[in-house]
Amino acid sequence: MTDNVLTHTTVLLNEAVDELLQASAGADGAYVDATFGRGGHSRLILSRLSPQGRLLAFDKDLEAIAEAACIEDTRFAIRHEGFSHLGELPAGSVDGVLMDLGISSPQIDSPERGFSFRFEGPLDMRMDTTRGQSVADWLATAEVDQITEVIRDYGEERFAFQIAKALVARRQERGPISSTSDLAQLVADTVKTREPGQNPATRTFQAFRIFINAELEELEQALEGSLRVLAPGGRLVVISFHSLEDRIVKQFMAKHSKEVVDRRVPFAEPVKMRLKTHGRVRPSEAEVRGNPRSRSAIMRMAERTEVPA
């Protein structure tokens, strides 16, 4: 809720909304905040829309849905769904899509959510606590090779096998790990070297969070959905916070910002470009000083080109 002591500072707030509203429909358009979070982007978008403008938001987190209920504006609606459902909207019905892929500060700082190694709490990490399996539930049965793959692929952790082996050994000796502090301590005991200033458990916690919420798969679905729902001249704005996300966004935009010739059919018309990229933006030095969690953010922008006949 807005009076919660756990506050969230929206990253690249003005830059993202400025870019989004560069869509050809401008303030009269229909927009999607695909990751409502705590509503920073949504509130600013609404403040700049005309009476004819519309904003639809998506979020899986019940706390985000509760926060959205505080917005009393007939131009606004929210769906309790992940943004992979974006593509279910009518084709060409949206003038801009904003995706802020960062986890919100209240999520990180709420011990009961289990996202952070800094707080004692249950090892949950689900964005939507009403459905799906928690990290603790998964670790209770996962085998060494499965855990290794997740930590390696989603955490880019070079000690993935050693951590996975230690987790399974702990389960066999004393039962499965179920708290954030136990996981953090096990990783610290297993990983003997680490980059200065980084907690040894950082990569493992990131990996488990991404895996349990299927974050990268959902991002890929949402990006594909955006192509379907964006009207010509519409804007796609995506803010990512780690290399795995940014790589997916960068490659997606690059793929659709060029004509594609099918070499198997040399006389066929090439598939027209579907996006025109508009570069990337990083937080200013002043923003990073005021909000250190913004330091890894990268915002990439693209415009939907005319749909070929």
Q: How far apart are CA 262 and CA 241, in angstroms?
A: 34
What residue has token string 């943004």?
Answer: 83
For residue 7, tell me if it sits in a domain.
Answer: no
Residues 152, 74 share a domain = no
Q: Is 246's pLDDT higher than 70?
A: yes
For residue 3, tell me if it sits in a domain.
Answer: no
pLDDT above 90 as % of the chain:
78
Show the 3-state SS of 130-183.
CCCCCHHHHHCCCCHHHHHHHHHHHHCCCCHHHHHHHHHHHHHHHCCCCEHHHH
Residues 192, 173 share a domain = yes
| Token couple for 28 | 């009269």
> What's CA 201's distance to the chain center, in Å?
20
Q: Is 178's pLDDT higher than 70?
A: yes
**Confidence category of residue 195, pLDDT binned at 50, 70, 90:** confident
For residue 110, tell me if it sits in a domain.
Answer: no
**Confidence category of residue 117, pLDDT binned at 50, 70, 90:** confident
For residue 122, tell me if it sits in a domain.
Answer: no
Residues 247, 208 share a domain = no
For residue 5, tell me if it sits in a domain.
Answer: no
Helices (H), 6-84: 13-20, 40-48, 62-68
Q: 212, 240, 266 — which closes off a domain?
A: 212
Residues 96, 19 share a domain = yes
Residues 81, 24 share a domain = yes
For residue 30, tell me if it sits in a domain.
Answer: yes
Mean pLDDT within 242-270: 81
Task: Report the DSSP beta bridge partners of residue 100.
Answer: 239
Q: CATH no. for residue 69?
A: 3.40.50.150
Q: How far apart are CA 144 and CA 164, in angstroms?
A: 5
Residues 100, 17 share a domain = yes
| Token couple for 216 | 């990268």
Residues 97, 29 share a domain = yes
Q: 212, 241, 273 — which closes off a domain?
A: 212
pLDDT of residue 268: 59
Residues 258, 176 share a domain = no
Q: Is 5's pLDDT higher than 50?
A: no
Average pLDDT, the chain: 90
Q: CATH no. for residue 135?
A: 1.10.150.170
Q: Which pLDDT tens digit goes with each residue over 46-68?
A: 999 999 999 999 999 999 999 99
Q: How far apart are CA 240 and CA 234, in angstroms?
A: 20
Residues 220, 96 share a domain = yes
Total count of domains within the chain: 2
Residues 268, 247 share a domain = yes
Residues 149, 93 share a domain = no
Q: 191, 212, 233 — which closes off a domain?
A: 212
For residue 4, tell me if it sits in a domain.
Answer: no
Residues 92, 219 share a domain = yes
Range of the domain at 182: 128-212
Q: Is 196's pLDDT higher than 80?
A: no
For residue 123, tell me if it sits in a domain.
Answer: no
